[in-house]
A and B are shown apart, each in its own frame.
Chain A
Amino acid sequence: MSRPLKLSLTRRYRFAASHRLHRPSFSEAENRRIYGKCSNPYGHGHNYVLEVTISGPVDPATGMVANLGDLDPFVDREVIEAFDHKYLNEQVPEFAENVPTAENVCREIYRRLKPFPAGRLERVRLEETSKNSFEFDGQPGAPEPDAR
Chain B
Amino acid sequence: MEGKGLRGENAMIRITRKVEFSAAHFYHNPDLSPEENRRIFGKCNNPHGHGHNYVLEVTIAGEPDPATGMVLDLKDLKDILQREVADRMDHRHLNYEVPELAGQIPTCENIAAAIWRLLEPKIATGKLDRVRLYESPDLYADCTAGQNGDTA
Contacts and interface: CB of A to CB of B under 8 A. Distances in A.
Interface string A96-118: 00000000000000000000000
Nearest to A11: B139
Contacts of A5: 113, 116, 143-146, 150-152
Interface in A49-64: 53, 57-58, 61-64
Interface secondary structure of A, over-half rule: mixed
Contacts of B148: 4
Interface in A77-126: none
A10 interface: yes
Contacts of B147: 4, 6
Nearest to B111: A63
A17 B50 CA distance: 34
A6 B32 contact: no
Interface string B104-122: 1111111011001100000
A3 interface: yes
A1 interface: yes
Interface secondary structure of B, over-half rule: mixed
B131 to A, nearest CB: 9
A63 B152 contact: no
A65 B108 CA distance: 10
A58 to B, nearest CB: 5
A13 B149 CA distance: 30
Interface string B87-131: 000000000000000001111111011001100000000000000
Contacts of A57: 150-152
A1 B116 CA distance: 12
A65 to B, nearest CB: 5
B24 interface: no
A12 interface: yes
Nearest to B121: A2
A16 interface: no
B2 interface: no
8 contacts: A6-B143, A12-B137, A57-B151, A58-B113, A58-B151, A61-B31, A63-B106, A69-B41
Q: Which 10 A-B pairs have the closest CB atoms?
A: A63-B105, A5-B152, A4-B146, A63-B107, A6-B146, A12-B138, A4-B150, A57-B151, A6-B150, A63-B110
Given A4-B150, A5-B151, A7-B113, 14 more contacts: A1-B152, A3-B145, A5-B113, A5-B143, A6-B143, A6-B145, A6-B147, A6-B150, A10-B142, A12-B137, A58-B107, A61-B29, A62-B41, A62-B105
